[in-house]
Amino acid sequence: MQPSIRIPRIHVLASAVAMALAPGAAFGSGFALSQQSAKEQGSAYAGAAASARDGSAVWFNPAGMVHFDRPTATAGVHGIYPQNHFQNDGSTSPYLGGQEIPGRNSNDGATSAIVPQLFYIHPVNDDLAYGIGINVPFGLGSEYEEDWVGRYHTVESELQTVNINPSMAYRHSDRISLGIGFNVQYASATLRNKIDGGAICQQATADPTCSGQVSPSDPDDDSELELDGDSWAFGVNLGVLAQVTERTRVGLAYRSEMRHNLDGEASFERSDSVNNAVVNPATGLTLGGALDGQGQFTDQDASTQVILPETVMLSAVHETTSRLNLMGDISWTRWSRLDELVFTFEDGQPEAVEEFDWQDTYRYSVGLTYDLLPSLQLRTGLAYDEAPVRNEKKRSPRVPDNDRTWYTLGLGYKMNNGLELDAAFTYIAIDDPEIENTNSQGHTLIGEYDSEVSIFSVGGTWRF
């Protein structure tokens, strides 16, 4: 009789897939990407749903498109450079009697990213306009050393999205305009993490040392799991823009949730020591043979539904003088959508559930622009961005998240041929994230991150 493997495969899969969608400190709250305009980046996106300053109005509030009197194209790119330095503080393995996990005690798993976008607005007449945007609304990336202490939680993560957003706007009156957009979104995810081969052998044989053949939590005996999946989803966005006074404009924008049904493939690479370890001396049965016989840790398909959250933005812009504009914004994101993920598997094994228990978040920003010259505008902004993670037990090393403060500077230069050039620099200070996360195999990662982000943005708008 083959020995029983008491670490259910579905739990490892569920943990790995769920953590692929964990928070990304390099970007915005959760794993949302705020970076959609070099012009708006300079003022921390304060007033973004009311300003209608460039083609990103398609994204932030389509009602603003009626305020463009010429066809307008906006392109931008953001270089995001995060630092997330982890320092271990006693991470443990239950298979070592509570002793610390052997491995690299400090690491920086952050990876840099380039985020592009392209928008186009075409006015039909004074009261009607249409536009389209192609951008990246969600994403994250991380890659740690293969032997770091958190390798059973993550080694590599990548989440990418592309959103296509055709929109229309209608001027209802001199003071009110309305907008609507439709969204087609593609998402893909790739992630890797190690599996404790020694723990598998220990549970299969009830032998703490697995007869000296495989050692629990030993990097040399680790196996590996890689998951790849993708999905298409559809949604809408709505906006209203009000010219409250001659100098004050207020915008309200809503963007719906996106329901992704991620279908993916789970690939396992078992170490030679795990495959060759003898778990039944009487029959010569190896651990690899036992796993194959029970369908454990073998390549298969897995799927889950992920709901990317809806958002609401309330923005205002006030022209204080002919040169100075003051702006503000309050944004709400329904991260509580990510309460739990339910996983199903190709071979019909029972569903697995991974709990997140995230909370809704708010983002507050203020900013100003000052026209130093008719052709040169200076910008600055300040923002406070809440994190959806409730505590250190829910925080993930897939790029950890915590509350953050934005400090931004930017400038814009208008050329004589209708071209406007924009640049911005952003520094994001992140409250040091503490982590005490236990995965499905019982490994507990304990430590603290020292995190910060620098963002360089450039873009251009052409009115023709």
Q: Which residue has the higher pLDDT, 45 or 275?
A: 45
Residue 18 pLDDT exceeds 50: no
In a domain, 173, yes or no: no
Partners of 448 in the β-ladder: 87, 434
Distance CA 5, CA 379 (A): 61
pLDDT for the residue 167: 98
Residue 362 pLDDT exceeds 90: yes
| Average pLDDT of the chain, as a whole number | 87
In a domain, 243, yes or no: yes
Distance CA 62, CA 178 (A): 7
pLDDT for the residue 211: 66
pLDDT for the residue 434: 92
pLDDT for the residue 150: 92
Domain that holds residue 378: 9-35+72-113+130-162+186-463
In a domain, 317, yes or no: yes
The first and second tokens of residue 182, run together, are 């439709």
Which residues, including other chains, have CB under 8 Å from residue 96's CB and lie 6 or more apart? 216, 217
pLDDT for the residue 209: 66
Burial class (CB in 10 A: 0-12, 13-18, 19+), 246: exposed
Spatial contact of 297 and 274, defined as CB atoms under 8 Å apart = no
pLDDT (tens digit per residue) in 66-88: 999 999 999 999 999 998 899 99
pLDDT (tens digit per residue) in 399-413: 788 999 999 999 999
pLDDT (tens digit per residue) in 129-146: 999 999 999 988 888 999
Express as a percent the part of the chain with pLDDT over 70.
91
pLDDT (tens digit per residue) in 314-328: 999 999 999 999 999
Tokens 């007449």 correspond to 125
pLDDT for the residue 299: 80
Counting every residue written for the chain, the total comes to 464
Distance CA 2, CA 145 (A): 35
Residue 96 pLDDT exceeds 80: yes
pLDDT for the residue 350: 60
Provide the 10 A C-beta neighbour count for residue 418: 12
Q: Which residue has the higher pLDDT, 144 or 390?
A: 144
pLDDT for the residue 28: 58
Residue 390 pLDDT exceeds 60: yes
Distance CA 148, CA 192 (A): 13
pLDDT for the residue 348: 56
pLDDT for the residue 457: 97
Residue 204 pLDDT exceeds 80: no
Name residue 153's amino acid. H
The first and second tokens of residue 272, run together, are 């030679």
In a domain, 170, yes or no: no
pLDDT for the residue 29: 63
pLDDT for the residue 126: 94
Distance CA 145, CA 135 (A): 31
The first and second tokens of residue 281, run together, are 């001396």
The first and second tokens of residue 331, run together, are 């944004």
CA distance between the termini of the chain: 77
Nearest CA-CA partner of 169 in 111, 222, 124: 124
CATH number reported for the structural domain that contains residue 423 in this entry: 2.40.160.60
pLDDT (tens digit per residue) in 405-455: 999 999 999 998 889 999 999 999 999 999 998 887 789 999 999 999 999
Which of 155-184 are b and which e, b meaning 16 or more Cβ less than 10 Å from the residue's Cβ? bbbbbbbbbebbbbbbbeeeeebbbebebe
In a domain, 269, yes or no: yes
Domain count, the chain: 1
Which residues, including other chains, have CB under 8 Å from residue 336's CB and lie 6 or more apart? 309, 358, 359, 360, 388
Strand runs labelled E in 196-247: 223-243
DSSP assignment letter at 28: S
Distance CA 171, CA 105 (A): 59
In a domain, 340, yes or no: yes
The first and second tokens of residue 34, run together, are 């705020």
pLDDT for the residue 1: 44
Element (H, E) at 315: strand 311-319
pLDDT band at 15 (very low <50, low <70, confident <90, very high): very low
Residue 151 pLDDT exceeds 70: yes
In a domain, 102, yes or no: yes
Distance CA 413, CA 419 (A): 8
Residue 340 pLDDT exceeds 90: no
pLDDT (tens digit per residue) in 21-58: 443 434 556 688 999 999 999 999 999 999 999 999 99
pLDDT for the residue 110: 83
Residue 344 pLDDT exceeds 50: yes
Distance CA 409, CA 151 (A): 38
In a domain, 259, yes or no: yes
